[in-house]
Homo-oligomer: A and B are copies of this chain.
Amino acid sequence: MAARAIVYENNGDPASVLYAVTLPARAEPLSGRSINVKVLLSPINPSDVHVVHGSYAVQPNPQKLNINGEEKTLYLPGNEGLGEITEVGPDVKNLKKGDWVVFSKGQSGTWSSAQVLEEEDVIKVDQGSGISAVNASTLTVNPVTAYKMLSTFVDLKPGDWIAQNAANSAAGQAVIQLARGRGIHTINLIRRKDDFAETERFLKGLGADVVLTYDDIPDEERVRELVGGKEVRLLLDCVGGQATKDTVRLASKGAHLVVYGAMAQEDIQIPPFLLVFKDIRVRGFWRTGWFNSSTLEERSQFLDELVQLMVSSKFKESVHEIVKIEGTLSDEEATLKVREIFGRVNKGTGGTKIILEVETRQSL
């Protein structure tokens, strides 16, 4: 039994540069605080595509691997996923065989069947909480981003209102659900499309209070009516450009605008008078930056709290499709299947998240 990994040697379009390799079986038993993790599920996130293209701020560490007797320097992509502990070294304290874990370090190379890591590279997820495998495998990017933004900049209380753009994104959907779980109301901006009614129904099903297109943002007085005289003190922006300017129109005096993405690939635009006279405060949020600067204990506590909230508020799984890379496939067959998947990802999957299940290579 040997591990399979999806790798690349050079940056480029994932549909062209990714390939599958089989890694030699490990001979020695685990030592010290090492752990062996079977990767159960690993999603494909938009940022992963940027990583493979080489256009993201971070890259996986290069690894020297022996592939069919040849030493190669390869990159193992995949940032998020759910693992199960299959073996622990003699000095491992807080993990045991069968535990579920998520990956604490970014770019762990989760598009693989198994990994040998150290105890501090993972964070335990309480399987007893009742969280589903899909929700656990997609925990550390979007729900963490959403929940951290909801709890960092403004002290929100039940009954408070927030607003966000690109509300139909995976992060936006997590914001809606986690806000609802805390009793916080949301105004959600989406683009005008023929299927507005359907998207509105979907987002309201997740707990959205108000869904609007950018073209239908009402004036200040009507906004105040919408929120029942409350304030909108937090605005989340992952678009940039004109959308920032539209979104900030919903802000109350002294509100925080938090930028966490740049879908429009344009500079944010804000009228200076909103900063000067309305005291709007603009900040950025970067999940990876927070993860890297926080202690393992802080992250672990945060994830426990988040998992509890997700379970208690019946957090719905993302619309998703699990694609299995079967252990019976040869590396060549697996490579074809992987590239086919990324061909679909490149064209857009219409909001359906693809989650990989890379099986251990069988009968080599």
Contacts and interface: CB of A to CB of B under 8 A. Distances in A.
Contact of A279 (B269, B271, B278, B284): B284
Nearest to A262: B272
A285 B276 contact: yes
A269 B259 CA distance: 13
A356 B328 CA distance: 90
Contacts of A196: none
A274 interface: yes
Interface string A174-191: 000000000000000000
Given A282-B281, A283-B281, A262 B267 contact: no
Contacts of A262: 272-273, 276
Nearest to A275: B284
A10 to B, nearest CB: 24
A197 interface: no
Contacts of A96: none
Given A275-B282, A282-B283, 14 more contacts: A57-B273, A240-B272, A245-B267, A259-B272, A259-B275, A261-B272, A262-B276, A267-B269, A268-B269, A272-B284, A275-B283, A275-B284, A277-B289, A280-B284
22 contacts: A57-B273, A245-B267, A259-B276, A261-B276, A262-B272, A262-B276, A267-B269, A267-B270, A267-B272, A268-B270, A268-B275, A270-B282, A274-B284, A276-B285, A277-B286, A277-B289, A278-B284, A279-B283, A280-B284, A281-B281, A282-B282, A282-B283
